[in-house]
Structure 1
């Protein structure tokens, strides 16, 4: 699946898209989603962009900290060319901070058509809830419970 979304400086949704692209790697999916976002921003006259991805690999590759895997080298060259037209800052965001992207990915899995949203009102209630929680700065926490190992429980 390919998915992505954008917001303005107030946190308002300006564009979101999700598409089922079949079976592929996460790197290839990210490499298809990011190049869609850059020209969209350019066409809408957005010149200063913060590109956030929960793929640390893609962030490191775009920031030229890591080498480009051969499987996406051609697409990466095209992406870098598009990015030179804009002022793009690329940064990593934890998955908990990118819940709308997960929501869009789940939509894409269950759809055969590309789904796009150009406003908050077009989102289904779960998508609106995610945006509202982010704008209200309600934290999304990842909690792990520690399981008591059976042999440990027997010693007690």
Structure 2
């Protein structure tokens, strides 16, 4: 507001932020006879405490299960990989043979397709999971963050769990009911972007110029007197 008043005082064009809807993003169910795992990782704090979450749904958008898990210290990339690994390991336990993994991490998708870029401490676990995926009907696809809201909420929930503990739901927790319903009816999320405006430092420079002016000149009603 202060910058705006100054711009009006000196008749300086003032550019404001404009929000633009770039894309409509929605979650889509998997093909018939397949189940979809939406996975996400989360990190918070200076020590990067990591958590993961995933949700399982079928082609009718029916909820089949979900998990939140605290994985301790982890980088953002490690959290994303851990979420996908945990989803695959759960698919093994459930003896599923037609699955679709969906994540908002392009690096995880590239690792799945090209087997590159895996964090070194996860390589053995990753290759074991990939071996399982190669023997079943399994795909890994990228989704924009707006289409991965349920997994995002579950991963953030994991931040509140005890270190290295997990919570499994066989019925939907109340915290994600609204998002699940929104996904089931195909209601889209808007992916927004903003138009940048003139940065605040422009006004700081302007103030500095005026401060210098008043320092060099004695401004009075009769005119200006040099100090030097």
Q: Do they superpose with TM above 0.5?
A: yes
1:118 counterpart (170, 185, 191): 170
TM-score normalised over the length of structure 2: 0.59
52-61 or 23-32, which moves further after superposition? 23-32
Contact 1:15 1:117 in 2 (8 A): yes
Q: What per-residue deviation string (whole Å, max 9, x for no partner) do you get for residues 24-64 of structure 1?
A: 01232233222322243244343111111111101000011
CA shift for structure 1 position 13: 1.5
Question: Aligned to 1:145, what secondary structure does the other structure show?
Answer: strand
Tell me the residue number matched to 1:140.
189
* Larger helix percent: 1
Question: Which residue of the other structure, out of 66, 69, 80, is the alignment partner of 1:30?
Answer: 80
Alignment counterpart, residue 64 of structure 1, candidates 111, 114, 121 = 114
Distance 1:147 1:109, change over 3 A: same
Q: Secondary structure at the match of 1:20?
A: strand
* Aligned: 1:4 with 2:54: yes
What is the CA-CA distance between 1:141 and the residue it aligns to?
1.2
Cα distance in 2, alignment partners of residues 22 and 45 from structure 1: 28
User: CA-atom RMSD, angstroms?
Assistant: 2.2
1:73 is aligned to: 123
Instruction: Describe the shift of the 1:26–1:82 C-alpha distance in structure 2 as closer, same or farther (beyond 3 A).
Output: farther
List, as ranges, runs of 4+ consecutive aligned residues in structure 1 with deviation greater than 6 Å. Answer: none
Higher RCO structure, 1 or 2 (CA under 8 Å, sep 6+): 1
Offset at 1:139? 0.7
Where do 5+ consecutive residues of structure 1 fail to align? none
Contact 2:110 2:116 in 1 (8 A): yes
Give the TM-score of the pair, scaled to structure 1: 0.83
Match of 2:141 among 79, 84, 91: 91
